Homo-oligomer: A and B are copies of this chain.
Amino acid sequence: MNIIDEAGLLALATRLQRLSERMRKDGEDIYKAMGIHFQPKWFPVIYVLLHRNTLSVVEIAGEIGYSHPSTITLLKELEKEKLIRSGKDKADERKRLLQLSAKGRKLVTQMEPVWDIITAATIDLIDTQHNLMRAIEEVEERFRLQSFLQRALSLIKAHKEDDATGS
């Protein structure tokens, strides 16, 4: 038990990050062990293009929840790997439309059994009493209703009103 575990709720962000990093690093090793040249950070882009077929840069960024410059960096890497291809939108000259390439689609079919294993291993890891996936979904839902900041500010306000009443 280190101090971050002891600090509990105050260090929650740190612990979430640590867990995320560990999973991503292991993810990388799983692909490697299966002889597949693929980085976990590419997954969101590949997955969205698999399911939505053709999207612009900003649309992809929106779907994966990243800023558009970060998305552009990922797209550059994926084009270099020839897993995706891009072309101008004829209807709107500002837009660049992205798709999986033949190589990309082929890699996806190779990865699908690996994705099944990753999913199974994830279930093996997180299917505890307080299921992590459910917990995240529930917290994201609460975030949608009111941000962490707003919750804190409400508490501060309530605290100040208590003081005023008590004097």
> Any chain B CB within 8 A of the CB of A133?
yes
| Contacting pair B123 A48 (CB below 8 A) | no
Residues of the B chain whose Cβ atoms lie less than 8 Å from the Cβ of A153: 30, 33
| A143-164 interface (Cβ within 8 A of B) | 143, 147-149, 151-153, 155-156, 159
A139/B151 contact (C-beta < 8 A), A40-B13, A47-B7 known: no
Binds B, one of A16-24, A82-90, A94-102: A16-24
Chain copies in complex = 2
| Contacting pair A18 B139 (CB below 8 A) | no
Q: State the Cβ distance, A7 to closest chain B Cβ, in Å.
A: 5
> Any chain B CB within 8 A of the CB of A15?
yes
Residues of the B chain whose Cβ atoms lie less than 8 Å from the Cβ of A34: 156
Residues of the B chain whose Cβ atoms lie less than 8 Å from the Cβ of A64: 2-4, 14
Q: State the Cβ distance, A157 to closest chain B Cβ, in Å.
A: 11
23 sample A-B contacts, Cβ–Cβ < 8 Å, listed by A number = A2-B62, A2-B63, A7-B47, A8-B119, A10-B43, A10-B115, A10-B119, A12-B126, A13-B21, A19-B136, A22-B143, A26-B148, A30-B153, A117-B156, A118-B152, A120-B152, A128-B135, A128-B139, A130-B138, A131-B135, A132-B135, A132-B138, A134-B135
